[in-house]
Amino acid sequence: TLWLDQRGTGLSTPITPDVLAELSSDAEKAEYFKHFRADSIVKDCEAIRKVLLGDKEKPEDRKWTILGQSFGGFCALTYLSFYSEGVKEV
């Protein structure tokens, strides 16, 4: 079992006032926040799946089961739309 702290939550690097203070313009802040969207989170998940399962011999063994609740459920569906070939079940 793997538990993922998506970007900015849990033990991942948080978004703090200090981080935002380093960004001088609203455009820079908007660009920074783009990295916390669902598409970035699912790219992280796919990179993790490839590291953990990518060297398995059988294609079926390279797939995993994903589960998400609330925003995690939205991310699970987003993952399914981007990387369905890596999913055994949701």
Mean pLDDT of successive 10-residue segments in the chain (90 residues)?
90 91 95 95 97 96 96 95 96
- Annotate 22-35 with b (16+ C-beta within 10 A) or e (fewer): eeeeeeeeeeeeee
The pTM assigned to this predicted structure is 0.86
pLDDT at 20: 93
What is the SS3 assignment for the chain? Answer: CCCCCCCCCCCCCCCCHHHHHCCCCHHHHHHHHHHHCHHHHHHHHHHHHHHHHCCCCCHHHHCEECCCCCHHHHHHHHHHHHHHHHEEEC
